[in-house]
Amino acid sequence: MCAIEAAKRGRRVTVLEHNAQIGRKILISGGGRCNFTNLHTRPEHFLSANPHFAKSALARYTPRDFVALVERHGVRYHEKAAGQLFCDGSAREIVELLEAECAANGVRIETGRVVRSVARGFEIADDRDVWLAGSLVIAMGGLSVPKIGATPFGYSVAEQFGLRLVERRPALVPLTFGREDQRKFDGLAGVSTAVVARAGGRSFREKLLFTHRGLSGPAVLQASSYWTPGEEIEIDLLPGVDVEAAMLKRRSAGDRSQVRSLFGEWLPKRLADRWCEIAGESRALAVIGDRDIARISAGLHHWRVLPSGTEGYEKAEVTAGGVDTGELSSQTMETRRVPGLYFIGEVVDVTGQLGGFNFQWAWASGFAAGQYV
């Protein structure tokens, strides 16, 4: 995106891509269909030490701007939920439209170029050639999904030029159980249910998924970005259900079924059975007192989990943290200390929530830099 915009201004642009093909992260996103933007993109959907930094770029290049580009190239798409837009066909269509725009504007793309060093000036040495540039844009992404080429190179360049970094960590990532919870919930891998997950003062109503090692699914991935190691996350297993009132009503009606039967009406059976097994709850509704009903309800609405950690960068969708936004102009993405040096996208300390927001940040920050580089 940055290369396209810079080339439109008459700049001579070369993209040095260290992978053998461009857009590998685009190709694997959204189950291969690429959730390329979100129509409801707003600054509050992003996490950063400076929550105001992203506002300028996001306002100047909106989801509608990218949708217009998609439509101009005849890419068919659909909205899944909450403004999330996906290709009807393949994520490859997004890569191809960006490649076509580059070609139309004279951008040179060099793949398989592993950059070895960057010197002031800017002299860039890769494993074959040395390049001289008037400006340099670092669009290297973060540490997530190393199997498709993620490296810390972007951060290394920032450090080389004396820029501050915000601590990096996996985000939008599955959380792992501690030993006791691992034992309790062993065998539930694949069970999914709608929940509200809370962490770091934020809450997300989405699906939860039990895995072999812990918890995943959109609700947990969202919460993981706000989770701090050593803190608990809280999960409401039955959002919108007044468990206490329902149990009291059924009891007063003389319902003699077991608690697990009632839970089985609301939760996946395997989870309902395991929950009752863990709680040692095998009684019939008719014999349970008010205090126990209140306790059972609270347990379902306020399940507190202390994760032992995350699945790491291998399973993380993005990297939180990165180049400190205080080092950059929010208007141009240029570094304040080194004229001509720009950082855009995931390498910057701006992390979107799940649902197309990180791609929109990539397009917007690339567009912003492309107007000035």
Q: Which of helix, strand or coil describes residue 323? A: strand
State how far the Cα of 77 lies from the Cα of 152, in Å rounded to an integer.
Answer: 33
Q: Quick one: pLDDT band at residue 339, thresholds 50, 70, 90?
A: very high
Tell whether the torsion through CA atoms of 290, 293, 297 and 299 is positive or negative: positive
Q: What is the DSSP string of 14-29?
A: EEEESSSSS-HHHHHG
State how far the Cα of 155 lies from the Cα of 153, in Å rounded to an integer.
Answer: 5
174-311 homologous superfamily: Translation factors (2.40.30.10)
Provide CATH 2.40.30.10 ranges for the chain. 174-311
CATH class of the domain defined by 2-171+318-370 = alpha beta
Question: CB–CB of 99/107 below 8 Å?
Answer: no
What is residue 18's predicted lDDT score, i.e. its pLDDT? 94
Q: 304-330 pLDDT, tens per residue?
A: 999 999 999 999 999 999 999 999 999
Q: Quick one: pLDDT band at residue 81, thresholds 50, 70, 90?
A: confident
Percent of the chain with pLDDT over 90: 97
pTM of the model: 0.95
Q: 21-32 pLDDT, tens per residue?
A: 999 999 999 999
Structure tokens that stand for 325 in this block: 């936004």
Instruction: Look up residue 171 and give its amino acid.
Output: A
Q: What is the DSSP string of 70-106?
A: HHHTT--EEE-STTEEEESS-THHHHHHHHHHHHHTT
Q: Which of helix, strand or coil describes residue 346? A: helix
Provide CATH 3.50.50.60 ranges for the chain. 2-171+318-370
Q: Which of 170, 181, 213, 174 is nearest to 197 (CA)?
A: 174
